[in-house]
Structure 1
C-alpha cells in the first residue's frame, strides 16, 4: 500500500512539472533561509552550554558610579574573599588580559596577540576546556603558559611545543607546559594563551595592579548549586566591596553572552529579529505550497471521487496527500542543504561570525534541523489533507463539482499575508539604509577622513622620537599627534571620578591623555581656547564635562589630579574647553570627557599610545602606507606593523546595523521571490481554469485590456490592501528600532512609496506576463479542445 501511494506521489510530481518546480523552489528557498538563520540563532543560544558545571558558574561584575551606568571587572581579592566568607562558593578563577601584545618565538614567528590571558590554576577545572597535553597544575608556577592547538601550529608547526619557550612583550619568557583544544566558537571565554596567574607578580606593572587590588580582573565563581546565587548576592552586601557608588552583581554564565557590557553585542541584539524573519519566510514558502495544492483541487477531484467510490476513506486519502507533501518537502530539503553549502560562508561573513563545523554536526543542531523538516512536512500537508478528502464523490462524478471558489477566501488571505510581509520588509530595509547613511555622514565634531592611526605601544622613547621625526619629514603628512587610546576601537577612554573645582561634587568623566597636537590634527574646534602658550601639564574638557563640573570660566582656579587603577596620576589646571565631539558610538549621547595634555615621553612610559597621522588628500594612500611602514619597521624593534583609518573604524562601530541592513536586503529579495513564485502559480492556475471563459469573451469581442482586468483585478486589490496593512506595521517597527539611537533620522516618504511602487510593478509584470500569453491564444482551438 505504501509503495502504491509513493508511486502516485512521484507520478503527480512528474506530471505537473511547473507546479512542482514552483513548490520545490519556494520550499527550498524558505528552508535555506530558515536553516541559515537557525545556525546563527541556535549558536547564540547555545553559548557556554558545553561547560559541565556551567549552571553553577557565575561572573562577577562591578557596577561603578552613582547611576550604575559603568560596569567594570572585579578586583583580584574578590574571588578569594568570597570563597573564604561564603561556603556556597567552592572555587573561583580570576583572569587578566594585558591587551594587545607581541608574542614571539623567533624572528619568523612574531605576532600581535589580544587573547593572551592570565588565569588561576582552577581555570581548567571550573571550565570544560579539554587539555590535549600537559597538566592543569602547571599553572601554579610563574612564567608557564598553556596554548591552544591553533596557536601551537602557528608558532611551532608540527613539532612538540611542550618545554619550548615564547617571549611576551619582548621581556618575559614563558615555558609552554600544555596544549588545550581550541575554545569552541560558542564560548564567551576565548583565549589562545592561558598563562599562570602567579606570573603577574613577576611583572612590575602588573604586580602593582594586583597588589593595589585594582579593577580589571574578570572573575568567575563556582557555586555549590545553581540556587545558591541568591545567598551569595547577600553575602556580597556584607563585604567591604560595596558602598554608595560601587556594587557587585553576579551574572549566570549561561546568560553571560546576552548581557555582556564589553565588546560587540550587535548580533545578540538581533537574535529574536532574525528568528522572526526565518519563521516569516518559511511561512511564505509553506503558504505557496498550500495555495497551489488546494487551488488545483479540480485536477484531483475525479481521482478523489473514484477512490472514495471504491472504498477509500478520509484517513487513507489524508495519508496520501501527506505522503505527497512529505515527498515534495524532502526533495526541497535536499536542495536546501546543497544551497546552504554555497551560501553559508557568505551569510557568516556578513554576520562576521565564525561557527565551528563541530557545532553544525552536534546532536543539538541536527535535532533542530530535523524538527524543522518534520514541521514543514506536517504544516505543508495539513491544509490539503484536511480540505481535499472532503469532496463528495456523487457531485464529482456527475460533473457538478467546481473548485473555482473552494477555499478562495483562505487563499486570498494567505496571498495578502505574503505581500504584506514583503512590503514591510522592503520598507524596513530602506529605512535602515537611510539611518546608516545618516550616521556615516553625520558631523561628529572631528575630521575623521585621511587620519591614519598606528599603535606604537612597544616603542621606546628614543625609538618613537626618531620615528616621529622621520614621519614629519615625509611629504604628504600634514600633521602628527599621539594619544593614550586608539579612538573608535575596543580600547575606549577610561573612567575617572573627578571632584568639581566649583561645587566640590564628584562627577564621572571619560578620560584620555594626549599631546598638544591632538586637537589640531583631528580638527577639534575650541569652545573656550586657552590663552597659555603651552598646554602640556594641563587638562582640557569638552562641553559636556564642563557642564557636569559646573564650570563656566577658564582656566580653573584649582589643580585637578587625574588617575585610575591602571594609570599614573596627572595633575594640572583645566585651561580650556573644546566643542563636544563623538569619540564613541552614536547610539548614546556624547559623554563628559577630560583630556590630560602630557609629554610624549610620559605617554610612552605609562601608556600604550597610538600615533595619529593626517595624510594629504592628494597623496596616494598605497604609496604613503608603504612609506610609513618602512619608517616604522626601521625603529619597531621586531614589532609587527599595524594601522587603521579613523573613518573606517567609525563606520565599524555601526557594524551590527550594517549586518542587519544586508540581511534584510537579502531576505526582502527572497521573500519577494517566494511571493512572486506563488503569485505566478495562482495566475497560471486561474488562467488554465478559465480558458473556456476567456475564449468565449474574446469571441464576443473582449479586448486584451478586458481580459487583463478580468484575471488580475482581485490580485491588484490584494496588493493594494497589503500596502495599507504593511506600511503601518513597518512604520511602527522602524520607529521602535530608531529609538535605540540617540542620533536618528526621520523616516522619509520615499522609503514607503518606493517599495510599494516597486512591488506593485513586479507583481503586475508577473501577472500580465502569464495573462497576455493566455489572451493571445486562438480561442477556436481552446473551445474545440474544451
Structure 2
C-alpha cells in the first residue's frame, strides 16, 4: 500500500510540474534559510560547551565601585586562584591564563628569516590541558607546560614555522622588552570555532616571573585585582554561591576596607552574556527571522497543497465508494506530503552546504565545517524535519479525508471544503510577514546611515592610523619625519592607542568630588588636535602649555563629572599622588561606542618630539596621518609601507582608516542589515511564488466563467481586474496588519541606541507600494493570460 501511495504522489507531481515546483521549491528555500540560521544560532549557543566539565568551569570577576561608577574586572592577582582553591573544598582546581595584549614578534631560531607578528600568544599554568579539553596532538598533557620557557603550538602555527617537520624540541625566539627563547614541547589541535579562547601559542606561565615586563605581576600575595584572568573548576555547579562567599571573605582578610564584590560567571555563558558581546547582540532576532521564513514556506505549502488537493475530490470519492476508510485516505495524503517534504529537505541541505561559506562571510564569522555534523545540530535538523512533516501534512489529510463521497462525485464544490477561505488567510499571512520584514529592513538601513552621519566631534575623513610596535625604537622620529615629507600628507599626530581601539583608565578626584572616579586617559602630542579636528571649547592661553609641569586637558563631560566651575582653567585634578593643572577644555568627542553618551576624558599632552620618542619609540602606539582628499590612496599607502620597512623590518605594516574603525563599531548592526536584506528577498520570493501559483489555480477554476463573460462582451482589462481584485484586497489587508506590527518592533529596537533615527510614514507607504507592485505583476500575468484565452476553448473543455 505504501508503495502505491508513493507512486500516486510521484505521478501527481509529474502531472502538475509548475505547481509542484513552486510548492517544493518554496519549502526548500524556506528550509534552507531556516537551516543556515539555526546552524549559526546553534553554533553561537554552543560556545565552550565542548569542554568536558563545561558546566563547572567559571571565570572570576569583580565589581569595583569608584566614585559612583561600577567597573567590572576579570583580571585577578596571581594568587587569587590558589588562595580560593586552598580555602574552599568546593573548588577542584584553578587556572591562570594571561594573554599578550600586544602582538609579539616570533622567529624560528634556525631560520631567522621566518619572522611573524603574532596576536594570540598566551601564558598558562601547567594544568592547562587537564583543566580544559583542548587536545594535544604531540606531547604529554602533564609535562608540556611544567618547565619555564616551554611552548605549545597549534597545528596551524606548527606548520607555519616548521612546515612538515616535527617542531618538538625546536626553539622559537619571542621578542618583547628583550628576546626570549622558548622550546616547543607540544602541538595541540586548532581551537574549535565555538571556543571563546583561541590561543595559537600557549607558553608556560612559570616563564613570566623572569620576563622583565611581568616582574611586578608577582609582587603581592594579597587577594585582589591584578593581571591574570582566573578560572575555577568547581566540584558541583551548586557550590557557586559558597565559593563566592569564600572569595569575599578572602578579600576582606587581605584588606578590611575592601569593597570589591567578587563573583563567578560560567565560562560557556561568556560569549552570549558577556559585557562585550556585541557580536551576538542579535542572537535572539535571528531565530525569529528563521521562524518567520519557515512560517512563510509552510503557509505557502499549505495554501498550494490544499488548492491542489481540492482538484482531486473525485478521486477521493471513488476511493471511498470502493471501501477506502478515512484513515487510509488521510494516510495517503500524509505519505504524499512526507515525500514532498523529504525531497524539499534534501534540496535544502544541499543548498545549505553550498551557500554556507557565502552566508557566513555575509555575517563575518567563521564556523568549522565539522560543526555541520555535530550530533546536537543533527538532532535539531531531525526535529525540524519532523515538525515540517507534521505541519504540512496534518491539515490536508484531515480535510481531504473528511470529504463526503456523494458530494465529491457530484461536484468538486471547493467552496464548501474550506479551502478558499484558508488560502485567503495564508496569502494574507505571507504578505504580512514579507511586508513587516521589508519595513524593518528599511528602518535598520536608515538607522545605520543615521549613526554613521552623527557628528562625533572628530574629523574622521582622510585619516589613516598606523599601528607601531616598540620595535621601531629610536627610529620613530626619522620614520615620522619621512612620512611628513610625503606630498599627499598634510599633518601627523601621535597617541598611545588608535581611536576607538582603547584607552588607559586612571582614577581621578577633584576638590568637589574627593572620591576616586574612573577617568579615561589619552596620551597624545600637541598635533593631535589639529590632525583629528578636535574643537577647542577653551584653548590654552600659552601655545606651549605642554611645557608646564603635568598639565591636563579635559572635555566638557569631565567638567560635569568632577563638578568643576564653568571655566575650570587653573583648577586641578588629582591622579593618585599626582596633581595636574587643567590648562584647556575641548568640546566633547566620541572615542568609544555610540551606544553610550560621551564619557569624560583627560588628555595628557606632550610636545611632538617627546611624544614621538616616548610613546612610539619606547612602548609603541599609533601614528595618525592626515592626507589630502584628492590623494591616490593606494599609492600613498605603498609609499608609507616602503618607508616603514626601512625603519622597522621586524613587524608587518598595519594600518586602518579612521572612518573604517568608526564603522567597525556597527558591525553587528551591519550583519543584521545584511541578514534582513537577504531574507526580505526570500520572503518576497516565496510570497510571490505562492501568489503566482494561486493566481494560476484561480484562473483555471474560473475558466468557464471568464469564457461566458468574454462572449457577453467583457474586455481584457475588465477580466484582468476581476481576477486581480480579490488578491489585491488581501494585500491591502496585509499592509494594514504589518505596518503597526513593524512599527512596534522597530520602535522597541531603536530604544537600545543613544542616537536613533525617526520612523517616517513614507517607509510604510513605500513598503505597501512595493507589495502592491509585486502582487499586480504576479497576478496580472496569469490574469491577462486567462483573459486572452479563446472563450470557445474555455467553454468546450470540461
TM tier, shorter chain? over 0.9
Match of 2:188 among 180, 196, 211: 180
Q: Deviations over 1:327-346 (max 9, x none)?
A: 11122122222222332111
Q: Retained in 1: the 8 A contact 2:476–2:617?
A: no
Provide the rounded CA distance (Å) in 2 between the counterparts of 1:19 and 1:244: 73
Quote how far apart the aligned CAs of 1:362 are.
Answer: 1.5
Provide the rounded CA distance (Å) in 1 between the counterparts of 2:334 and 2:412: 27
Provide the rounded CA distance (Å) in 2 between the counterparts of 1:109 and 1:587: 43
Provide the rounded CA distance (Å) in 2 between the counterparts of 1:701 and 1:152: 83
Match of 1:593 among 593, 601, 604: 601
Secondary structure, counterpart of 2:184 in structure 1: strand
Secondary structure, counterpart of 2:521 in structure 1: strand
Q: Deviations over 1:90-127 (max 9, x none)?
A: 21111111223222224443222221111111211111
Secondary structure, counterpart of 1:475 in structure 2: coil
The match for 1:706 is 718
Q: Retained in 2: the 8 A contact 1:298–1:403?
A: no
Quote how far apart the aligned CAs of 1:637 are.
Answer: 4.1
Match of 1:250 among 257, 260, 264: 264
The match for 2:575 is 561
Quickly say closer, same or farther: Cα 1:68–1:244, change in 2 above 3 A. Answer: farther
Secondary structure, counterpart of 2:270 in structure 1: helix
Q: Retained in 1: the 8 A contact 2:507–2:575?
A: no
The match for 2:287 is 275
1:127 and 2:140 matched: no
Aligned ranges for residues 101-120 of structure 1 at < 5 Å? Answer: 101=103, 102-105=105-108, 106-120=111-125
1:418 and 2:392 matched: no
Aligned ranges for residues 289-304 of structure 1 at < 5 Å? Answer: 289-304=301-316
Q: Retained in 1: the 8 A contact 2:499–2:658?
A: yes
Match of 1:697 among 705, 709, 713: 709
Quote how far apart the aligned CAs of 1:606 are.
Answer: 5.8
Q: Deviations over 1:542-590 (max 9, x none)?
A: 111121111223433446336xxxxxx9763221111100111111111
Quote how far apart the aligned CAs of 1:254 are.
Answer: 2.3
Provide the rounded CA distance (Å) in 2 between the counterparts of 1:761 and 1:400: 33
Secondary structure, counterpart of 2:394 in structure 1: helix
Quote how far apart the aligned CAs of 1:729 are.
Answer: 0.8
The match for 2:561 is 548
Quickly say closer, same or farther: Cα 1:155–1:399, change in 2 above 3 A. Answer: same
Q: Deviations over 1:151-178 (max 9, x none)?
A: 1111111111111122222522211111
The match for 2:149 is 143
Match of 1:481 among 489, 493, 511: 493
Provide the rounded CA distance (Å) in 2 between the counterparts of 1:123 and 1:736: 44
Secondary structure, counterpart of 1:353 in structure 2: coil
Secondary structure, counterpart of 1:327 in structure 2: helix
Quote how far apart the aligned CAs of 1:763 are.
Answer: 0.7
Q: Deviations over 1:612-643 (max 9, x none)?
A: 11111122111110111111111104111111
TM norm structure 1: 0.96
Provide the rounded CA distance (Å) in 1 between the counterparts of 2:112 and 2:637: 23
1:215 and 2:226 matched: yes
Q: Retained in 2: the 8 A contact 1:65–1:508?
A: no
Provide the rounded CA distance (Å) in 1 between the counterparts of 2:461 and 2:480: 21
Q: Retained in 1: the 8 A contact 2:595–2:753?
A: yes
Provide the rounded CA distance (Å) in 1 between the counterparts of 2:743 and 2:391: 31
Q: Deviations over 1:397-456 (max 9, x none)?
A: 233744476332222222111101111100010001111111112211001111111111
Secondary structure, counterpart of 1:348 in structure 2: helix
Match of 2:86 among 84, 93, 98: 84
Secondary structure, counterpart of 2:58 in structure 1: strand
Provide the rounded CA distance (Å) in 2 between the counterparts of 1:32 and 1:503: 58
Of 197-206 and 683-692, deviating more is 197-206
Provide the rounded CA distance (Å) in 2 between the counterparts of 1:234 and 1:69: 20
Quickly say closer, same or farther: Cα 1:108–1:674, change in 2 above 3 A. Answer: farther
Q: Deviations over 1:379-399 (max 9, x none)?
A: 111111111111111112233
Quote how far apart the aligned CAs of 1:504 are.
Answer: 2.4
Quickly say closer, same or farther: Cα 1:558–1:18, change in 2 above 3 A. Answer: closer
Structure 2 residues not aligned, in runs of 5+: none
Quote how far apart the aligned CAs of 1:214 are.
Answer: 5.4
Aligned length: 776
Provide the rounded CA distance (Å) in 2 between the counterparts of 1:570 and 1:408: 81
Provide the rounded CA distance (Å) in 2 between the counterparts of 1:332 and 1:402: 27
Q: Deviations over 1:306-329 (max 9, x none)?
A: 111111111111111111111111
Quickly say closer, same or farther: Cα 1:245–1:607, change in 2 above 3 A. Answer: farther
Q: Retained in 1: the 8 A contact 2:313–2:412?
A: no
1:192 and 2:204 matched: no
Provide the rounded CA distance (Å) in 1 between the counterparts of 2:579 and 2:208: 29
Match of 1:532 among 514, 533, 542: 542
